[in-house]
């Protein structure tokens, strides 16, 4: 069986959903499970709504009405008046109505997941209905009935044993008769609360289902021709890779290449499942395949990650940064749920950069009282793999605050 994943750009409007149906009808062979993201920029809009509701801003209901209007406009372009999908989508949005009619009483991360997860629920239900309208025998499945997680809201960790048991219990039988349509990005706790898997987590959802079902392949349909050596929105003359190894793809995504969610690759590598990245507007093109490969990469890869914070810690008590102090710093990062992108240790200082997140940073600060802390924000991280002096000169512009290099990868934290 195969797993297809369609991102928000590929289902942003009625034309995109029609194109999805055409791809599903024309390109899949045998059993198929389809994972979909929220439509267009819906996740951004729902994040704005969650923040507005949590802060009790006056525009929360207006934001919500705009989100609903956007989806119902698409519905009217796809379905005749009176189709059951209208009531189903309206009832799904009621989940948000119930939340925002009262004042917030839960932590923001919990509220975020309950609100933002609705984007994937709505898009997947629309697509399942449209496939059926086109004569494709499809069945909507609620990912929360299968993907079991802990309660680390906004970046939940998957309980692989429980998830595999639930997926293997009935989905293979469903796929005998139907194409399954599943919302990406979301899971469920043992207390039956909705969680999300991290931004752009629908790719990860596709990998979870594929690994648990021992799929033949996963195809991620994107608005680019495949995996490129740089972001085409930033750089000209980008080069497409025909093939990449799992390890190369993991390195690229970890440091910010947005074409695939960072957690996607490892579950597929563990099962030797190839991942294809293909353009949804030209489905016949080969795209890029990520698989077990010994093929070397000699093209420089440039990855730019915005909104970085760089900290430097000095010990208040001792002249040198000791191993036990370093251990304490990493515990503080872990407790604050901060993922370090770069780090550098000298005799007197510990420096590290990470994605800017004010609440997490404030939590971190409170856990390192024995250090003097200095920081800069509004920085960006430039990662170059397989580069050379010429590459660095061409792509590293601005004041460099931190530089870190090894044989293959170089990092530059620079003033944005």
pLDDT tens sequence across 359-380: 999 999 999 998 999 999 999 9
Indicate which CATH number applies to the domain containing 313.
3.30.2130.10
Which structural domain, as residue segments, surrounds residue 153?
A: 2-291
165 falls within a domain: yes
Of 265, 291, 317, which marks where a domain is finished?
Answer: 291
Q: Are residues 44 and 87 in the same domain?
A: yes
Of 291, 310, 345, which marks where a domain is finished?
Answer: 291
Q: Can you read off the two tokens belonging to residue 166?
A: 């639930």
Q: Are residues 185 and 136 in the same domain?
A: yes
Q: Are residues 323 and 286 in the same domain?
A: no
Q: Are residues 330 and 200 in the same domain?
A: no
Q: Are residues 152 and 284 in the same domain?
A: yes
Residue where the block lists tokens 């932590």: 107
pLDDT tens sequence across 151-205: 999 999 999 999 999 999 999 999 999 999 999 999 999 999 999 998 888 999 9
Is the model's pLDDT at 330 over the cut of 90?
yes
pLDDT tens sequence across 99-139: 999 999 999 999 999 999 999 999 999 999 999 999 999 99
20 falls within a domain: yes
Of 268, 291, 314, which marks where a domain is finished?
Answer: 291
How high is the pLDDT of residue 137? 94
Asked if residue 307 belongs to a known ligand binding site, the reply is no
How high is the pLDDT of residue 199? 84
Q: Are residues 345 and 271 in the same domain?
A: no
Asked if residue 415 belongs to a known ligand binding site, the reply is no
How high is the pLDDT of residue 271? 97
Indicate which CATH number applies to the domain containing 32.
3.40.1160.10
Q: Can you read off the two tokens belonging to residue 277?
A: 């990245």
How high is the pLDDT of residue 19? 97
How high is the pLDDT of residue 129? 98
Q: Are residues 257 and 392 in the same domain?
A: no
Question: pLDDT band at 64, cuts 50/70/90?
Answer: very high
Q: Are residues 253 and 329 in the same domain?
A: no
Asked if residue 119 belongs to a known ligand binding site, the reply is no
pTM of the model: 0.93
Bridge partners, 126 (sequence order): none
**Count of the separate structural domains present in the chain:** 2
pLDDT tens sequence across 23-42: 999 987 789 999 999 999 99
Asked if residue 5 belongs to a known ligand binding site, the reply is yes
Q: Are residues 88 and 230 in the same domain?
A: yes
Is the model's pLDDT at 409 over the cut of 80?
yes
296 falls within a domain: no
Contacts of 337 (CB under 8 A, 6+ apart): 152, 155, 360, 363
How high is the pLDDT of residue 316? 85
Q: Are residues 202 and 121 in the same domain?
A: yes
Asked if residue 7 belongs to a known ligand binding site, the reply is yes
Is the model's pLDDT at 315 over the cut of 90?
no
246 falls within a domain: yes
Q: Are residues 197 and 51 in the same domain?
A: yes
Asked if residue 187 belongs to a known ligand binding site, the reply is no
């Amino acid at each position: 069986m195969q797993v297809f994943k369609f991102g928000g750009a590929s289902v942003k409007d009625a034309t995109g959903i029609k194109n999805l149906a055409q791809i599903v009808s024309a390109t899949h062979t045998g059993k198929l499970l389809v994972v979909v993201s929220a439509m267009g920029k819906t996740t951004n809009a729902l994040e704005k709504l969650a923040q507005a509701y949590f802060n009790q801003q006056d525009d929360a209901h207006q934001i919500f009405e705009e989100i609903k209007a956007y989806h119902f406009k698409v519905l009217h372009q796809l379905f005749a008046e009176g189709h059951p999908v209208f009531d189903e989508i309206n009832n799904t949005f009621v989940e948000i109505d119930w939340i925002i009619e009262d004042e917030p009483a839960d932590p923001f991360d919990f509220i975020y997941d309950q609100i933002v997860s609705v984007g994937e629920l709505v898009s997947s239900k629309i697509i399942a209905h449209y496939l059926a309208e086109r004569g494709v025998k499809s069945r909507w499945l609620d990912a929360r009935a299968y993907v079991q997680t802990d309660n680390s809201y906004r970046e939940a960790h998957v309980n692989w044993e429980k998830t595999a048991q639930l997926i293997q219990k009935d989905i293979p039988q469903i796929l005998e008769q139907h194409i399954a349509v599943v919302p990406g990005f979301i899971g469920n706790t043992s207390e039956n609360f909705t969680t999300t898997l991290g931004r752009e987590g629908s790719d990860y959802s596709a990998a979870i289902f594929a690994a648990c079902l021992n799929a033949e392949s996963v195809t991620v349909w994107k608005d680019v021709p495949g995996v490129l050596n740089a972001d085409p929105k930033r750089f000209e003359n980008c080069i497409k890779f025909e093939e990449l190894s799992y390890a190369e793809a993991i390195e690229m995504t970890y440091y910010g290449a947005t074409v695939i969610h960072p957690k996607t690759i490892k579950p597929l590598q563990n099962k030797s499942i190839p991942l294809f990245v293909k353009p949804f507007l030209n489905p016949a093109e080969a795209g890029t395949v990520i698989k077990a490969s010994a093929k070397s990469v000699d093209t420089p890869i440039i990855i730019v990650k915005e909104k970085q914070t760089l900290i430097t810690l000095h010990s208040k008590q001792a002249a040198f940064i000791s191993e036990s102090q370093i251990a304490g710093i990493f515990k503080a990062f872990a407790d604050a749920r901060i993922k370090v992108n770069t780090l550098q240790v000298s005799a007197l200082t510990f420096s590290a950069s990470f994605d800017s997140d004010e609440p997490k940073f404030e939590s971190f600060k409170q856990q390192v009282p024995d250090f003097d802390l200095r920081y800069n924000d509004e920085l960006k991280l430039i990662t170059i793999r397989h580069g050379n002096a010429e590459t660095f000169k061409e792509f590293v512009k601005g004041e460099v605050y931190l530089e870190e290099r090894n044989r293959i990868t170089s990092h530059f934290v620079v003033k944005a």
